[in-house]
Chain A
Amino acid sequence: MSISAFLVPRVLRLCAIAFVSTQVCWAQQTDTWQTDTQQEESQQAQSPSFAELKTSGLQRSRFKAVPDPAAEVDVGIDVVSPQPDTKGFDSSIKSLLDRHCVDCHGPDTVEGNIRIDTLDADLIHGTDTQWWSEVFAVVTNGEMPPPDSSDLSDAERERLVTWLSVELQRASRVRQRSGTRSAFRRLTNYEYNYALQDLLGQPWNFAKDLPPEARTEEGFENSSDRLHLSVSQLETYHRIARNALRRVTASGQRPPTRHWSISARDAAEREWARQDTQIHSLEKRLRKQPKKLAVELERLRERFEPHDGQAFFLDPSGQRKAVATWKYHGAKFAFAPREVKGNASQQNDCVAVLPNGRNSKLIFELGNQLPDEGTMRVAVRAWRDDSESDDLPSLQLHFGWQASNEGRALLRVSKEDVSVTGLSDRPQWIQWDVPLGEVYPRNSVRKTSPMGAMPSPSEYIKLVNSAVSKSVVHVDHVFVSAPVYDQWPPESHRRIFFADDATRDETSVAREIITTFMKRAWRRNIYEDEVRRKLALFETMRSTSDGFEEAVLEVLAAVLSSPNFLYVHNAGRESDAFALASRLSLFLWCSVPDDELVSLASSGRLTQPDVVAAQIDRMLADPRSDRFIKHFVHQWLDLELLEFQNFTQHQRGFDPLLKEAMLREAPELFKFILRENASVLDFLHCDYAIVNERLARHYGLPNVKGNHFRRVPLEPHHRRGGLLTQAGILAMNSDWPDSHPLKRAIWLLESVLADPPPPPPPAVPQIDLADPAIAKMSLKERIEDHRNHAACMSCHVKIDPWGIAFENYDAMGRWRQTIKGKPVDASSELFNHQTLDGMDGLKRFLLQNRQDQFVRATVSKLLTYALGRPLTFADQAEVDAITSRVRRGGDGLKTILQCIVQSELFQSRGITP
């Protein structure tokens, strides 16, 4: 078998738009080919700015050239009885292929496993459409015929591409109309989790017991072909539902709330008492040696002085200090709870001073009285230093316990860091609500071991100043209350048992409760026969239950384990509008639709374009859309790689805060571009970054303070902008401690350009590091050497150059000009002999020549995610149509979402189930 060139059909490859005025369009496209070879000189001579490149690239877009989106369907395509243009093939295409392709892809040589001469020229009825898409892509990109050995003229190329584009478009449309591509699938784990959160009204992690999800090669988790179900999973769904319903509802009396009110003075006095004891015992011991006593006392007082990074208490006079300490033995540091909340201490009393970093121990031990479930509300009065410094401290809340020497845990329980902006005359109350039932692991001896005994049953909270720069937080009072219920029974209980009315008969109350819940969980109208069956189940459950509520919850658990909840479907008795509401909410909220969406579906208004458009705006303005951003970006860019990246500890310039910031940068950029409806070309390059202080420091951006993400303008010398230069992206596509050009190239091709290279053929030769000549080489030289093997070249020549261009960024994503003392060589030659000069050159090339490809790739990724299924050939015409609308509309990210939702594929118009 020949492995010199591997070409596999790719479903998601470029495909054609139906050209209305192909002449105009192709004249421009030809222009692009010509510039490919002359580009280096012109680039250096004129060196247009990135902004100019964006504009000029858009003007040349083949999508932009299509005049009217509505017209495209009718032009050149006979929808009623479409016929392939085999005549055109015979008269003008076949001879071209024979002359330029068949030598390598014909009866004598079959490179890349493809024979052109046997492909079926009837694209509508034939089975070779995927191969034709492939041919179209490589010819359009100028990759085939091989640029150095081809005499295919531009006019010939234009003829070939035009014929193919029309035929592919026609064939795709025909398949779309006759196809049955519904995306019936079960909810993903995260959708299931959010759906329970939204239905039950508690922000808990319900899905943690479900087995992890598989992913498609593209990285998508919500793809219908991957979402399987097994018996243990089904049993887990049922168990989760029963537990969740029990947890969010309440029975019996309101549990008493315990309160802790701890002033800094309370904590400080304990330290001072300890200091006094030490002083007194020293004075007693050395009372006859006054000189020695003075020396020892001085030494002792020095020990009381806090070191850098230690939290300490300070009395109002500013004279007396004590380091904040904590030991677990005997729970001696525990504060006792009380029945009532109490008042905050007088300000201007003692304060606790908390510097940034992880060495301080500002711990408030609370004993063993915290409940298993319910909210723990922690409020602290805090302010930052009054000085002129613009450093911005921030607070995190941690929860911990230590039962014995070896049994202990400390967990961050606050989600977002809170910036401390208050000043001493205007202190700030910072409050966290911690769901105690979600804290894991808790101290498991808290109910069996008494306070003071070993192992210790006590638990504590800890305040951490998580600022990157040197800064202090002043804290003078801490309130803790648990369990806190703003009402009883809690809101999540009332949400289910809203109709609890002792005066009515049980069955009619049950009917009302169950029907309402079913409607929300199944996100559609409920039919009478369905209600009757659930009521029959209720009667069965009621006969073995002590109470009404218990029986209702059993029925609701069955509702949540039903395929009507667990699966998304777009067929059935319900109208399309309900299915649309579900698709919309799963797309933008990763969850079930809310009441407004369901009622719009119910009234039929949701099918009106302006109503949908308004709903998209509303949904994106809702915090639930953060879930879409998080999960789409994670899957699109394969950020799992970064999560798995295991940086060596104690690496200079690295700390966990950096990895955390790296993980957030891509979603934050996406969020910004989405909110602004900025052009998606900003992902390739933009003159701003969305960073926090930690990342800004990593990038060398001055004057960025605090842990929140915000827009920061970039200058060219920062060498940043867009996704490609994000530290996290660069780091995750590295092989710590080395950068990895190949990984970076493949990531660029797969995630950004949706043009994945074929998988490596079997039996490729390994790079022989035992060979001293190879071991001596730089990474780039090694890659070049590898590429020179005949077996490797044909693939690597298309991959490597893209990755070499990233070489100025090290494995942590930092800019560098040398590698091991040698200057970085980040230039490489593309398949068409054009030189890609580093990141700048790569971005220029993409903006100049690959805008269409990138925008179309972004559309197809978002569409794949929105539909929850892999795209097929039949979808390609619609992808082109959406891309065309998007390009004409200025490439806005929100525009893409609007176009996708309004597309025929998303609306499922004209598709027979």
Chain B
Amino acid sequence: MNRSIQQLDRRRFLRGSGFALALPTLVSLSRQQAWGGDPLPIPKRLACFYFPDGVPMPLPDDPAHRDWSWFPHGGDQEFRFSKCMQPLQDLKNEITVLSGFSHPSSRNIHGHNCADLFLTGAATGGGDHEYQNTISLDQVYANHVGRKTRLASLVMSTDGGTGTARGTHTMSFDRNGRPIPAMHRPKQVFDQLFVKSDAGSAQRLARSRSALDDMLEDAVRLRKSLSKSDQHRLDEYLDSVRQAEVNAEKAKHWLNAPLPNVEGHQLDLELTTDEPRAYLRTMFELIYLAFKTDSTRVATYQIGRENGVGRSDHLARAVGFNLAHQLSHETKNPDGWKNFGLYCQFLNEEYGRFLRRLM
């Protein structure tokens, strides 16, 4: 069953490349004012990025191999970046490039169906078979650390929303494998992070608390009528209600906690992919700000959707091409590898910029 990597069709193998990184430590502005006030260990943060359609992998005897192959030449500590990753040169000692992996669930499906399972590893299949996804990596982490910050996680993509099954616009899936809609407008992201939310959530919270009080009361009364061993069983319920009240209390705190003071006017929040480089940079910047203010510790950003046909396809215009997806199909044209590589280089320029902000 297992095929060696050499046997794999390169495009198939590389379809769907993404990177996830555990970010370096970052002392946040607002930590000193964090609720509870205890000195806490520096938090660990997780950001996951994905771009579709693969990366250039010319064969070793191709003249483009030296300059435009995505993966560095060499291995371990001794390696040399090609022009694709050149923008990360000064970060070379801080990053790890992984290669040679393929996911069993993605081996049989079409290359255009890969984003759905990048962070979930679920067998989401191809064609129009039944579709069931599972929780994504970022949400697993968010379940652990989500309550420590105002937002459990930040879910972003260039194309926004959920997309369709197998043509996802979000990398994040909840416990039941349902897509979590991604935000694509910088303004929307900014407002969620730094602008006071509506009164609706306060009201919802108040209602939940009243309901929890009532449930607790029911349980306490029921408990009196039970035998010892049954009481023990019901205690799970009581503990859960009490924990839910603690959760609601925390949520209320976040509702009332002062928002970090971030100057929005330094950013152009109305940017669209019509200005691709500025847009991409702003999206990265928003993640940086979210981490800096400890507003969340988990972020995903799907830079593009599979198979073109969408806003994200326009990102290639930052480096003078028309559509990003097309570049991956035209590698055999004159300068094809180079053109595709230039687009990847552009992505790494902005990614590198983001990494340097974190240091």
* Residues of A in contact with B (beta carbons under 8 Å apart): 180, 182, 184-186, 208-209, 211, 224, 228-231, 233-235, 238, 400, 402-411, 440-441, 443-445, 448, 454-455, 533-534, 537, 540-541, 544, 554, 557-558, 561-564, 566-567, 569, 571-573, 913
Contacts and interface: CB of A to CB of B under 8 A. Distances in A.
A566 B230 CA distance: 14
Given A408-B128, A444-B163, A571-B227, A454 B309 contact: yes
A407 B129 CA distance: 11
Contacts of A402: 128
B165 A182 contact: no
Nearest to A913: B227
B211 A561 contact: yes
A725 to B, nearest CB: 31
Interface in B317-355: none
Contacts of A557: 211
B234 to A, nearest CB: 6
A403 B206 CA distance: 41
B164 A404 contact: yes
Contact of A406 (B167, B203, B217, B230): B167
A570 to B, nearest CB: 9
Interface stretch (B57-65, B69-77, B86-94, B239-247): B239-247
9 closest A-B pairs by beta carbon, nearest first, are A407-B167, A407-B164, A410-B128, A406-B112, A184-B230, A231-B243, A572-B225, A234-B240, A441-B165
A209 B230 contact: no
B166 A211 contact: no
Contacts of B214: 533-534, 537, 558, 562
B131 A409 contact: yes
B233 interface: yes
Nearest to B161: A444
A229 B237 contact: yes
A403 B176 CA distance: 23
Given A558-B215, A569-B226, A913-B227, A406 B128 contact: no
Interface string B192-210: 0000000000010011101
A186 B233 CA distance: 9
Interface in B209-257: 210-211, 214-215, 217-219, 222, 225-227, 229-230, 233-234, 236-237, 239-241, 243-244, 247
Given A564-B222, A567-B237, 13 more contacts: A184-B230, A184-B234, A231-B247, A234-B244, A238-B211, A440-B131, A455-B309, A537-B211, A537-B214, A557-B211, A563-B234, A569-B222, A569-B226
22 contacts: A184-B229, A184-B230, A224-B233, A229-B236, A229-B240, A231-B240, A238-B208, A403-B164, A404-B167, A407-B165, A407-B166, A409-B130, A411-B130, A445-B164, A554-B211, A562-B215, A563-B237, A564-B218, A567-B222, A567-B234, A571-B227, A572-B225
A407 B175 CA distance: 22
A852 to B, nearest CB: 33
A400 B226 contact: no
Nearest to A551: B207
Contacts of A440: 131
Contact of B166 (A184, A408, A445): A408
Nearest to A180: B227
Contacts of B176: 208-209
B164 A540 contact: no
A571 B215 CA distance: 19
Q: Of B128, B219, B307, which is in contact with the most chain A CB atoms at under 10 Å from its CB?
A: B128
A537 B213 CA distance: 9
Contacts of B138: none
A558 B225 CA distance: 20
Contacts of A233: 240
B233 A406 contact: no
Contacts of B282: none
Contacts of A234: 237, 240-241, 244
B294 interface: no
A571 B110 CA distance: 58
A407 B206 contact: no
Interface residues of B, number: 47
Contacts of B210: 537, 540-541
B359 to A, nearest CB: 36
A444 B163 CA distance: 6
Contacts of A567: 222, 234, 237
A533 B128 contact: no
B84 to A, nearest CB: 25
Given A229-B237, A229-B240, A455-B309, A441 B211 contact: no
A860 B210 CA distance: 44
Given A208-B176, A569-B222, A573-B225, A405 B164 contact: no
Contacts of A410: 128-129
B149 interface: no
A441 B236 contact: no
Contacts of A571: 225-227, 230
Nearest to B212: A238
Contacts of B112: 405-406
Contacts of A544: 203, 206-207
Given A229-B240, A406-B113, A567-B234, A182 B175 contact: no
A31 to B, nearest CB: 45
B218 A182 contact: no
A539 B298 CA distance: 40
B127 interface: yes
Contacts of B247: 231, 235
A406 B219 contact: no
B226 A184 contact: yes
B24 to A, nearest CB: 31
A119 to B, nearest CB: 28
A911 to B, nearest CB: 10
Nearest to B242: A231
B162 interface: yes
Contacts of A444: 161-165
Contacts of A540: 210
B180 to A, nearest CB: 13
A235 B161 CA distance: 25
Contacts of B163: 407, 444
A557 to B, nearest CB: 7
Contacts of A208: 176
Contact of A563 (B207, B218, B244): B218
A414 to B, nearest CB: 15
Contact of A441 (B164, B226, B239): B164
A564 B234 CA distance: 11
A652 B247 CA distance: 55
Contacts of B215: 238, 558, 561-563
Interface in B113-135: 113, 127-131
Contacts of A404: 164, 167, 307, 309
Contacts of B306: 406
Nearest to A446: B164
A448 B210 CA distance: 38
Contacts of A408: 127-128, 164-167
B175 A211 contact: yes
B27 to A, nearest CB: 31
Given A234-B244, A407-B164, A572-B225, A563 B219 contact: yes
Nearest to B246: A231
Contacts of A558: 211, 214-215
Nearest to B111: A406
A189 to B, nearest CB: 12
B244 A572 contact: no
Contacts of A454: 309
Q: Of B218, B227, B239, which is in contact with the most chain A CB atoms at under 10 Å from its CB?
A: B218
Nearest to B143: A232
A368 to B, nearest CB: 13
A231 B236 CA distance: 9
A249 to B, nearest CB: 17
A185 B230 CA distance: 8
Nearest to A529: B221
B189 to A, nearest CB: 19
